[in-house]
Amino acid sequence: MPQTLRARALLLDMDGTLVDSTAVVEKLWLRWAEPHALEPQRVLDVVHGRQGHQSMAILLPARDHEINLRENREMLAAESADVDGVVEIPGADRFLAALQNAPHAVVTSADIALMTARMGAAGLRVPDLAITAESVSASKPDPEGFLLAAERLGVAPADCIVFEDSAAGIAAARAAGMRVIGVGAAAAAHSPDATVPDLTAVQVTVDADTGTVTLALN
């Protein structure tokens, strides 16, 4: 049975929510992990949704964080240069088009260059407001990025709905006091308020007078 939710603003993760970049993310991170003899599944469990330097700090807790920051810059550059296989999550283009007249933002752990590269590879419009790695001092699961987006949109956190796929992202949205719609089969394990298999399952209506967004989830 369809579920209906209403909000004054939508905040959208990028990787796994708007674009499918799984193949390149996992390829580059497993390549990074190999010389450290890290267990591959452990790496994949950690890296999704977080900024790279935080993932490195979790995986190599004894290492000097300056090394993590340097290698994170190298990883971001490599990811920006490799968009082979990056495509839109089904329904993302239509979904973003429906939000043209509604308050919304992308909130991503990517930096500006990587966000631009992946959204471009997927053929997607970048929202006017983009909260990227450069915008914040703390990575998801810290709520800073979502709270900053709500502040810039002039909308209370409780009036925002977040679309996310990862454990770190869903935790960040919850910590911000926002409702969360999980995108993709794996998101359900992290207890979002609702789940959809992809964005084709979301119908968007925007009230022209108030800007209120009504979401019908199929």
pLDDT of amino acid 83:
96
Domain map of the chain by residue range?
3-21+86-217, 22-81
* pLDDT tens readout for residues 20-29: 999 999 999 9
Q: What is the dihedral of CA 92, 98, 104, 106, to 10 degrees?
A: 20
More confident residue, 149 or 210: 149
Q: What percent of the chain has pLDDT over 70?
A: 100
Is the model's pTM score more than 0.85?
yes
Band (pLDDT 50/70/90 cuts) for residue 1 is: low
Task: With H, G, I as helix, E, B as strand and everything else as coil, classify residue 117.
Answer: helix
The CATH-assigned architecture of domain 3-21+86-217 is: 3-Layer(aba) Sandwich (3.40)
Check if the beta carbon of residue 8 is closer than 8 Å to that of residue 213.
yes
Return the closest-CA partner of residue 52 out of 36, 37, 70, 38.
Answer: 70
Q: What percent of the chain has pLDDT over 90?
A: 97
Q: What kind and span of H or E run contains 165?
A: none
Active site residue 207: no
Supply the DSSP string of 112-164, one letter for each residue.
HHHHHHHHHHTT-PPPS-EE-GGG-SS-TTSSHHHHHHHHHHT--GGGEEEEE
Active site residue 198: no
- Mean pLDDT, the chain, rounded, equals 96
